[in-house]
Chain A
Amino acid sequence: MPPLVRVQHLTKHFGNIKAVDDLSFTVNEGDVYGFLGQNGAGKSTSIRMMLSLIKPTSGEVNIFGYPLRTHRIEILSKTGSIIEKPDMYRYLSAYDNLSIFARMSGIRPGRLKLMEMLEFVGLKNREFDKVKTYSQGMKQRLGIAISLIHDPRLVILDEPANGLDPQGISDIRQLIIRLSKEQGKTVIISSHLLSEIEMMANRMIIIDKGKKIVEGEVSVLLDPAHTIVELQTADTGKAVAYITGKDIRIMTVTPGASLKLEMNRSGIPDLIAGLCAAGVPMLDVHAIHSLEHYFLSLTNPADHV
């Protein structure tokens, strides 16, 4: 099956600055595709080019099998998006904003549908308040509603969890999983919350300085053999003595407090059992999300521990 989104050799110059440099990637139908990069890596520029907000200096974007350059209207009619911090008409209510953008997307939802969508994103009882009275999190929810109101086939979300509380972040995560698994939508999501990406995305790309660093299945890219484990114990000496000689790299030791280890994820249960048997008093053992480590190791290898 051909990919739903194919980006080929996408490049964008702003004067002398190369914001995006020969970027190519594909997104398959049904993917939850993580789009990762540091600030200024070119994520937003790439997303804007995919949404025809910015014209590429060179390269092609194909969505649903059509070139974006020539089939913009058809593609956008089936694409929903949030770009960075969503802003709406502050002097209008959420209901009015949603209605306006729905009608601009070519649909005329009735009052019931609009109210349902607003309830779906958690804005019940605030539908008719002016957006200028909303918190950032509420605006984010409204932005998600706007991106979904016309039932798009492809959803592009740039930092959708911005400004949301932990419950909101969890809600967004559940929403995205539902969109993908239950409604078969394809989601491209860019986020700084690597833990969230790790939980949602099945494929991902990491870009840095406008270039692709790596692309592929999350499960393949995140090597379980290099899981970071943090062990909190008062007797770090005994723990070190047990671990030395095993296929575990001791990264850092904070005497009398904790150790940071790099090891194969599958060996964690044996490690816990062994430390217990060795009489090491353990206060806490947890694996640091390796996507974060992986990301940092690729984007900041000099700083990476």
Chain B
Amino acid sequence: MFELLRIELYKIWMRPRTYIAFAAITAIVVIFQFAFKADGVSYMNLLLQNVQDNFELDKIKVINGYFMCYIILNTLLIQVPILVALVAGDAISGEANMGTLRLMLTRPVSRTKIIFVKFLASFIFTIFLLVWMAVTALFLSIAIFGVDDMLIFRVKGEESQIMQITSDDVMWRYLAAFGYAAIALTVIAALSLLFSVFAENSIGPIVAAVCIVIVCTVVSNINVPVIEQYVKPYLFTSYLVGWKGFFYIGVNSDNIPIKGSIENWPAIRNSLFILMAHIGILFGAAAWFFNRKDILS
């Protein structure tokens, strides 16, 4: 298994298209950092519009490394599923397209092992993507903008809120958030892998996976009661942004944030279980179909 995994990872890293994902992330992050360094105050004015009437606040201090990373992740974690699909969607269909699938499947290795290793390799690629995001979006932002307390702007029901997390209470949340994001993106990988099993060309599975993510995300954000009650809980995209829950800090009766707390850990935990269940079902389906597939390519 380990040997197969090494082979798969080697193949992924030797393909030029793998590096497109890292280049894309770097470009997005750098653009954000440049924009905020140049004129982040305008963005803060927008976020803080009527708060400034009643409060004195140093907006420059708000635009620190922790805040920047949160802003960047908000955007990146919408685009990164495409980058994950780029690799995972190519896992089987790319081999079929290249003609190497039949070579691979005439080796003395079970199909289940092959698809599991492919999935594992996609997962490891996702981890590397997230590590790169952490390096650029978090650590590079810290280097450019420094560290200070972090402000979270949030809509909760009908209310908008501003939460302040002290600087010494942030890093573990990012660690947890990236961990959550890894699980969330693995769902995308599993979905892309499932589509990849049915195709002999990578474009189809990649586009299909991305379309499903986009459509489900749009539906997840429709605030109509029937959708909220009967559709949204069953869409995996409703849980993709659950990483933000690590930044929703709990408060005491005086409305003071409680250091080290999470407002609703059970919700995050349940989201994680649902995502992992999706991974299990999608990968299980992929393995099932792959085992029964006639290789005609």
Direct contact of A and B (CB under 8 A): yes
Instruction: List A residues at the B interface (Cβ < 8 Å).
Output: 48, 51-55, 72-77, 79, 81, 83, 85-92, 96, 100-101, 103-106, 146
CB pair B108–A54 under 8 Å, yes or no, is no
Interface residues contributed by chain B, number (CB under 8 Å): 24
A91–B110 CA distance with the chains assembled, in angstroms? 25
CB pair A48–B107 under 8 Å, yes or no, is no
CB pair A53–B105 under 8 Å, yes or no, is yes
13 examples of A-B residue contacts, CB within 8 angstroms: A48-B295, A53-B102, A53-B295, A54-B294, A55-B292, A72-B108, A73-B110, A81-B106, A83-B102, A89-B11, A91-B14, A92-B11, A100-B7
Given contacts A86-B103, A101-B103, contact A55 B294 (CB under 8 A): yes
Cβ contacts under 8 Å, A89 to chain B: 11, 14, 98, 100
A120–B67 CA distance with the chains assembled, in angstroms? 62
Which B residues from 1 to 51 make CB contacts under 8 A with A?
Answer: 3-4, 7, 10-11, 14-16
A55–B103 CA distance with the chains assembled, in angstroms? 16
Chain B residue at minimal CB-CB distance from A44: B296
How distant is B259 from chain A, measured CB to nearest CB, in Å?
A: 50
Cβ contacts under 8 Å, B108 to chain A: 72-77, 105-106
Task: Give which listed residue, B15, B107, B296, contacts A104 with CB less than 8 A.
Answer: B107
Can you list, as one digit per residue, whether each of B78-110 has a CB less than 8 Å from chain A (1) or not (0)? Answer: 000000000000000000001110111111111
CB pair A54–B296 under 8 Å, yes or no, is yes
CB pair B296–A85 under 8 Å, yes or no, is no
A-B contact count (CB 8 A): 71
How distant is A200 from chain B, measured CB to nearest CB, in Å?
A: 22
CB pair A86–B99 under 8 Å, yes or no, is yes
CB pair A101–B107 under 8 Å, yes or no, is yes
Which B residues from 266 to 297 make CB contacts under 8 A with A?
Answer: 292, 294-296
How distant is B181 from chain A, measured CB to nearest CB, in Å?
A: 29
Task: Give which listed residue, B110, B292, B294, contacts A53 with CB less than 8 A.
Answer: B294
CB pair B99–A85 under 8 Å, yes or no, is yes
Chain B residue at minimal CB-CB distance from A74: B108
Cβ contacts under 8 Å, A48 to chain B: 102, 294-296
Cβ contacts under 8 Å, A91 to chain B: 14-16
Chain B residue at minimal CB-CB distance from A103: B3
CB pair A87–B295 under 8 Å, yes or no, is no
Cβ contacts under 8 Å, B102 to chain A: 48, 53, 83
A86–B102 CA distance with the chains assembled, in angstroms? 9
How distant is A26 from chain B, measured CB to nearest CB, in Å?
A: 21
Most buried by A among B11, B99, B108: B108
How distant is A110 from chain B, measured CB to nearest CB, in Å?
A: 15
A53–B109 CA distance with the chains assembled, in angstroms? 12
Most buried by A among B102, B104, B292: B102
CB pair B103–A146 under 8 Å, yes or no, is yes
CB pair B105–A92 under 8 Å, yes or no, is no
Instruction: List B residues at the A interface (Cβ < 8 Å).
Output: 3-4, 7, 10-11, 14-16, 98-100, 102-110, 292, 294-296
Most buried by A among B14, B104, B107: B107
How distant is A20 from chain B, measured CB to nearest CB, in Å?
A: 12
A75–B108 CA distance with the chains assembled, in angstroms? 8
How distant is A102 from chain B, measured CB to nearest CB, in Å?
A: 10
Instruction: Taking A55-B292, A75-B108, A86-B99 as given, write out 9 further A-B residue pairs in contact, using a Cβ cutoff of 8 Å, ordered by the A residue number.
Output: A55-B294, A79-B106, A83-B102, A85-B99, A86-B103, A87-B99, A89-B100, A100-B11, A104-B107
Task: Give which listed residue, B11, B99, B107, B296, contacts A105 with CB less than 8 A.
Answer: B107
Chain A residue at minimal CB-CB distance from B114: A104
Shortest 10 CB-CB contacts between residues of A and residues of B: A87-B99, A77-B108, A53-B295, A104-B107, A76-B108, A54-B294, A73-B108, A51-B106, A83-B102, A81-B106
Given contacts A87-B99, A89-B100, contact A52 B11 (CB under 8 A): no
Cβ contacts under 8 Å, B104 to chain A: 104
A104–B11 CA distance with the chains assembled, in angstroms? 13
CB pair A88–B100 under 8 Å, yes or no, is yes
Cβ contacts under 8 Å, A146 to chain B: 103
Chain A residue at minimal CB-CB distance from B17: A91
Cβ contacts under 8 Å, A76 to chain B: 106-108
Most buried by A among B98, B99, B106: B106
How distant is B118 from chain A, measured CB to nearest CB, in Å?
A: 13
Cβ contacts under 8 Å, B3 to chain A: 103
Given contacts A100-B7, A103-B3, contact A52 B105 (CB under 8 A): yes
A81–B102 CA distance with the chains assembled, in angstroms? 10
Cβ contacts under 8 Å, A74 to chain B: 108
Cβ contacts under 8 Å, A90 to chain B: 98
Cβ contacts under 8 Å, A73 to chain B: 108-110
Chain B residue at minimal CB-CB distance from A90: B98
A52–B16 CA distance with the chains assembled, in angstroms? 32
Cβ contacts under 8 Å, B100 to chain A: 87-89
Most buried by B among A55, A75, A87: A87
How distant is A268 from chain B, measured CB to nearest CB, in Å?
A: 44
Cβ contacts under 8 Å, B11 to chain A: 89, 92, 100
CB pair A104–B295 under 8 Å, yes or no, is no
Cβ contacts under 8 Å, B109 to chain A: 73, 104
Cβ contacts under 8 Å, A53 to chain B: 102, 105-106, 294-295
A54–B105 CA distance with the chains assembled, in angstroms? 11
A55–B108 CA distance with the chains assembled, in angstroms? 16
A91–B104 CA distance with the chains assembled, in angstroms? 16
How distant is B116 from chain A, measured CB to nearest CB, in Å?
A: 14
A255–B161 CA distance with the chains assembled, in angstroms? 102
